[in-house]
A and B are shown apart, each in its own frame.
Chain A
Amino acid sequence: MRTTTARSIAGLTFIVLASAAQAADLRVQCYSDGNECEVTGDLAKRFEAENPGTKVIIDKVPYKAVVEQLPVQLAAGEGPDIARVTDLGGLSKYYLDLAPLLPAARAKAWQDNFASSLAWFRSGAADRGIYGLMSQLTVTGAFVNKTLFEQAKVAMPGPTATWDDWMEAARKVAVATKTPFAMAMDRSGHRFAPLAVAYGAKIFDANGVPVIDAGYQTAARKFVDWHKAGLMPKEVWGGVGGSQYRDAFEEFANGRVVVYYSGSWQIKRMDTQVTKAFDWAVAPAPCGPSGCTAMPGGAAFVAFKHTKVPAEAAKFLDFLSRDDNYKELMARTENIPASLSVAKAGVTYNVSANAKAALNSFVADVPKIAKANYDLQGYRFNRAVFLPTAQRLGQAVAGEMSADDALKRLAADVDEQVKAASK
């Protein structure tokens, strides 16, 4: 009897120890624009059921933690196994290459389906690795308060309308409806980039180094003048300091601006918070002398080199990338798919007609995106352009310095940061 009990205990201990040895905890750091982390959590539960022994822990964090704390953690060799990041190129040296960890067929599926976005994660042209899964492909664009346009009896500008056309139409609407401002734009260099490219900015010189060229300067002067003329609210770009991000969603939702330049990630908020108040729509990408363009972007799940469970990390990302799962992720988070096969098959969004039309409008803008905007998004140090743009143009908008001085400082800041980063 005693022997049997001892054997049972020994057997049980072995089973517990063996399963403990097999169990792998996968920590996923996730920030959310809407419900991305919750949907990822649901998919993770399915992954756990398919892969007993692997536990996926979703750590939901604010966006600021991803932008400011994660890079420091990674530099110190610490941090989660997987994270949802937006600085796709800037963190490339920390990424785990999934290619050798994926079965050949799956690696090919990644290369085929995510061809356009895989390059954004790579450290250079020679790099052919697979590093991240776009969980959200975004496109910048203008949200329009349709109700105000109707009240003002002003026709909405057409698909080839320039930024100036939009500003003029929005100004007329603002005057007619006593709306305080014609247009607002999120305080972000990323949002400013399409305006710059539309007015001729090439962003990079012949050596691939970012420059504040004539086109960028034209757009910047125009932008500062719009603020000086009271067409744009000073407090968005001029109200905060440094390179801090500030969106203008509240201004739009409260009916204080006629047109709001932001991006596709705002659709869910628009649908839930704005639809009840007034009719809104997404305008086609505004144009300039150099064309009509928008800025691509988005967030992606990436695994890091320091992970102790690389196989599980690759398996989880591959699980998310599978057409059925990716389709669900896109449908439930109301995002534009980065996967060609999913985009081709179509995503059924369970959203209002307004949100559906907005998504279609953003999707229609994708082919219009200029090469310079794609290149900037894929540039490793794109924030060395974005952040000083927000800071210096913010100073000019606040009246602290002229647009010309701000542009000189901006060029010096970009140059200094790029040089320091390459040391």
Chain B
Amino acid sequence: MRQDARTPWFFLGPNLVIFGVFTFLPIVINLYYAFTGGVQLYPRDRPYVGFENLATLLDCGSYFDPSSCRKDIFWRAVWNTARFSVFQVSLMVLFSLGTALVLNRKIIGRGFWRGVYFYPVLLSPVVVALIWKWVLQREGLLNAGMVAAGANPVLWLAEPGWAFFWVIFVSIWAHMGFYTLILLAGLQAIPADLYEAAQMDRASPWRTLYRITLPLLLPNLLVVLVLAAIRAVQIFDEVFVLTGGGPGSATTFVVQFIYQTGFQEQVRLYGLAAAGSLLLALALVVLTLIQLRATRADKAGERAR
């Protein structure tokens, strides 16, 4: 009996150690760094500064005007991240849903098309960014095509508006396959007899979509929405390689600010970077709570039905 009680720990132990060392310990260390200052790497050498790092980041005339903030780049990054998350997530969900609906139909070469949409998910974010950089740079493929067609080349990555657009586009292109797959699984789980009944009732395709498909796909849509939102808030790698956060700070996001402050500058302000991480973690916790609440509400709705 006693041995049985130990068995789960035997299997969980190694994983717990890995999580402890590589996830929970860094969280504790990050907390410590956020409340210490200076440029020293070793915790024991760092002076305690209380809330100074957080106060520096939050020191703003108006949070809606980054130029009034002491750390203007941080607030530009915050607003860029917010804008990116709203556009990227909503468009990602929309396109993933559309693609999943099409790929769920009996179309020619369905397996091939499913592969095509999932293929970018297999690529490393750096490879994705490099491919698109070759396409979008001044002498890239897109401009070559435009010049051949008699149009003027456009600085896709050097104009703030275009750069932001392409960052969203590339991110959707790279990750859409994953979310499409989740939605496709959800669509295939909807009983076919419901559609047959709708057909017998001569329900229009739109009515079928609104009355059957979307309500039954809601749990999957919620998962997609929350996963995409969390991923959007953490955006870094692809954008860093594609635009480097530019032009100016047009595509600088919060994680890049943290990386730049903690690792890229000569004077590495680890405390400030750690404080930025704390604020980012706070945003992620809020998103996760929303997910939990939405999932609970959904389950409660199911029970009520």
Interface residues of A (CB under 8 A from B): 68, 71-72, 75-76, 87, 90, 234-235, 238-244, 246, 254, 381-384, 386-387, 391, 394-395, 397-401, 405, 409, 417-418, 420-421, 423
CB-CB under 8 A from A423, the residues of chain B are 37-39, 47
- Given A235-B157, A238-B158, A423-B39, A398–B266 Cβ distance below 8 Å? no
C-alpha spacing A87/B139, complex, angstroms: 33
C-alpha spacing A110/B246, complex, angstroms: 44
CB-CB under 8 A from A72, the residues of chain B are 41, 263, 268
CB-CB under 8 A from B23, the residues of chain A are none
- Given A71-B268, A72-B263, A420-B39, A240–B244 Cβ distance below 8 Å? yes
Question: Is B171 interfacial (CB 8 A cutoff)?
Answer: no
Name the distance in Å between B125's Cβ and chain A's nearest Cβ. Answer: 17
Are B67 and A405 closer than 8 Å at their CB atoms?
yes
CB-CB under 8 A from B73, the residues of chain A are 391
Partner of A238, one of B38, B247, B251, B267: B247
Q: Closest residue to A398 on the B side, CB-wise?
A: B248
Question: Is B252 interfacial (CB 8 A cutoff)?
Answer: yes
Are B245 and A240 closer than 8 Å at their CB atoms?
yes
Are A241 and B244 closer than 8 Å at their CB atoms?
yes
- Interface residues of B, count at CB 8 A: 35
C-alpha spacing A153/B214, complex, angstroms: 70
Question: Is B243 interfacial (CB 8 A cutoff)?
Answer: yes
- Given A72-B41, A235-B158, A423-B37, A240–B247 Cβ distance below 8 Å? yes
Contact residues of B between 34 and 62, Cβ < 8 Å to A? 37-42, 47
Are A241 and B265 closer than 8 Å at their CB atoms?
no
Partner of A398, one of B37, B40, B250, B256: B250
Are B37 and A241 closer than 8 Å at their CB atoms?
no
Partner of B264, one of A68, A87, A238, A418: A68
Partner of A235, one of B40, B67, B138, B250: B138
Are B158 and A399 closer than 8 Å at their CB atoms?
no
CB-CB under 8 A from A401, the residues of chain B are 67, 248
Are B249 and A395 closer than 8 Å at their CB atoms?
yes
CB-CB under 8 A from A394, the residues of chain B are 246-248
Question: Which of the listed residues B40, B72, B246 has the most CB atoms from chain A within 10 Å of its own CB?
Answer: B246
Which 9 interchain pairs have the tightest Cβ spacing?
A: A241-B245, A383-B266, A398-B248, A400-B248, A240-B244, A241-B246, A75-B41, A235-B158, A398-B247
- Given A68-B264, A384-B266, A401-B67, A241–B41 Cβ distance below 8 Å? no
Are B158 and A421 closer than 8 Å at their CB atoms?
no
C-alpha spacing A167/B266, complex, angstroms: 32
Name the distance in Å between B113's Cβ and chain A's nearest Cβ. Answer: 36
Q: Closest residue to A251 on the B side, CB-wise?
A: B138
Question: Which of the listed residues A238, A383, A397, A399 has the most CB atoms from chain B within 10 Å of its own CB?
Answer: A238
Give 11 pairs: A residue, B residue, CB < 8 Å, sorted on A: A68-B263, A68-B264, A75-B40, A238-B246, A239-B243, A243-B264, A384-B266, A398-B248, A400-B247, A400-B249, A417-B265
Question: Is B269 interfacial (CB 8 A cutoff)?
Answer: yes
Contact residues of B between 250 and 275, Cβ < 8 Å to A? 250-252, 256, 260, 263-269
